[in-house]
Amino acid sequence: MAQQRIRAVFMRGGTSKGLVFHEAELPPAGPARDAVLLAAMGSPDPNIRQLDGMGGGISSLSKICIVGPSTHPQADVDFTFGQVGIDAGIVDYGGNCGNMSSAIGPFAVEEGLVPTPADGEAVVRIHNTNTGKLITARFPVRDGFPLTQGDFTLDGVAGTSAPIRLEFLTPGGAKTGALLPTGRAVDLIDVPDLGPVEVSLVDAANPMVFIAAESLGLTGVEMPDEIGADPALMARLEAIRRRGAVMMGLAPDEAAAGRLISIPKIAMLARSQPAAKLSGQQLAEGDADITARTLSTGQPHRAIPLTGALCLAAAIRVPGSVAARLATATQGSIRIAHPSGTISVDAATEDHDGQIHILHASVLRSARRLFEGNVCIPVQP
């Protein structure tokens, strides 16, 4: 039987990969669109491999982006992100993906969606519909096409690339409307067999739950496979994440929070310390200002989600937060250690009557078009 063919581009954005679609090529938002996206990625797959689709069996490789004409007067394009469940038939539009955001500007230029100089710097203003926030992407172009070659290194990605500067404008309150959804820098969550633990519930770029690794009996430099191999720890982290979602107003109860697979993410934090990278190389204590181990869609992340890094940089600016207590630097560019290396993130803030407001957060990423053509979707009889 013939398969349905839908034009798409397969792109790497930062430390993630995913399919990028033109909105006009997809069915309208709803169950029909979700069915197409799930089939394209090979989900749901109880084997957690997505062999029958374009997904890669881990959260950072199970992503889709939808790009269309801007509905915002200060943007050039609209961008909707979908986190595709791997063993679950869910496409979660609850939050944005910062890494895949880095692919949107180059995609828009190569697809002719925005005007750009033949040579120099392209500036693409992106409206993320998941959060209602604006992102500015700046990157070099030559002969009207984005440069891919350069000397920028990105931990977790082999080789070097041309840099893409992403500026997330007023990222605070991306989903809840407030940087601190509970109004407090620190909250308590009661964990079975552990008791009350301190967390910081912060919403910048995407909502996050931050907890000190020490509170869970960890050092903070455990590797993703080690974390994922501990079912008791994974269950405890998911319980904390779900409770945090309810406290942030993202879900009415913890059962509903379980269906929000992409937000809030949860990160375990520790002071900077010597640690091994997944590559086998070593990080020294002085290489970073804080250490993070993040879970995304129920899986330990091999790097750190970009929106998680942005949110962490914002959290460090909040006096008294779990993040601020553990960071060795709270101003300027913040260096975050993660399993693949480090990332530097900056956040500009203002203090309004004792309340911290994030003006913008910025980071360097890279992206590259990997494949273009049609994704084939089985047609149901």
CATH number at residue 149: 3.10.310.10
Residue 44 shares a structural domain with residue 77: yes
Query: Residue 324 falls within a domain, yes or no?
Result: yes
| Global pTM value | 0.88
Domain assignment present for residue 171? The answer is no
pLDDT class for 1, splitting at 50, 70, 90?
low
The phi and psi torsions of 315 (rounded to 5 degrees) equal -65, -35
pLDDT band at 349 (very low <50, low <70, confident <90, very high): confident
R_g of the chain computed on alpha carbons? 20
Instruction: Give the pLDDT mean for 296-307.
Output: 92
Query: 52 and 198 share a domain?
Result: no
Q: Examine residue 170 and state whether it is found in any structural domain, yes or no.
A: no
| Number of folded domains that form the chain | 2
Domain shared by 102 and 220, yes or no: no
Range of the domain at 124: 4-163+367-377
Non-local (6+) Cβ contacts of 256 within 8 A are none
- 22-45 pLDDT, tens digit per residue, is 999 999 999 999 999 999 999 999
**Residue whose pair of structure tokens reads 């070097």 in the numeric block:** 160
pLDDT band for position 194 (cuts 50, 70, 90): confident
What average pLDDT does the structure give for the chain?
95
> Are 119 and 207 in a shared domain?
no
Instruction: Give the helix/strand (H/E) hosting 161.
Output: strand 160-161
CA 33 to chain centre: 22
- Evaluate whether residue 168 is within a structural domain: no
Helix, strand, coil shares of the chain, percent, nearest 5, are: 20, 40, 40
In this structure, the answer to whether residues 158 and 202 fall within a common structural domain is: no
* Same domain membership, residue 284 and residue 229: yes
182 domain residue, yes or no: no
